[in-house]
């Protein structure tokens, strides 16, 4: 399995993610949207976007490991943020960086960020889902 991340000429280079991922492998893994719940189902970081983004990424890492993969296998992330405004980007990136440091990865696959009015539980500020390709 291999994921090759690209930033083709003619598209802007965005530091937080790559524009294209080319995946080869035999198994697709779809990780359900992860919110800031710990293993007991308690919300981590109520009111704290940084802490919630970090927990979402850590949860994705746990889910991928259970399938025999890691963030190196992720072809695409989709992120939903409550009441998104561009000034929240540094908080989002800080949470992702904290999780990446704990996981020992650089999670920069292509991604889509969508602002939403609300999520399943009022204290959840972010939800992240992942698609991965494994050998």
Residues 71-128 pLDDT 10s: 999 999 999 999 999 999 999 999 999 999 999 998 788 999 999 999 999 999 999 9
Q: In whole angstroms, what is the distance from residue 117 CA to residue 103 CA?
A: 30
- The answer to pTM > 0.85 is yes
| pLDDT tens profile 9-51 | 988 888 788 888 888 888 999 999 999 999 999 999 999 999 9
């Amino acid at each position: 399995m291999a994921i090759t991340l690209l930033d083709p000429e003619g598209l802007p280079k965005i530091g937080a993610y790559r524009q294209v991922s080319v995946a080869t492998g035999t198994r697709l893994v779809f990780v359900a949207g992860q919110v800031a719940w710990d293993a007991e189902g308690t919300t981590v970081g109520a009111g704290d976007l940084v802490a919630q983004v970090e927990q979402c990424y850590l949860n994705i890492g746990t889910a991928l490991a259970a399938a025999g993969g890691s963030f190196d296998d992720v072809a695409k992330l989709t992120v939903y943020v409550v009441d998104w405004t561009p000034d929240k980007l540094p908080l989002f990136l800080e949470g992702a960086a904290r999780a990446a440091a704990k996981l020992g990865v650089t999670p920069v696959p292509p991604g889509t960020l969508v602002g939403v009015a609300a999520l399943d539980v009022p204290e959840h500020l972010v939800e992240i889902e992942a698609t991965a390709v494994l050998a």
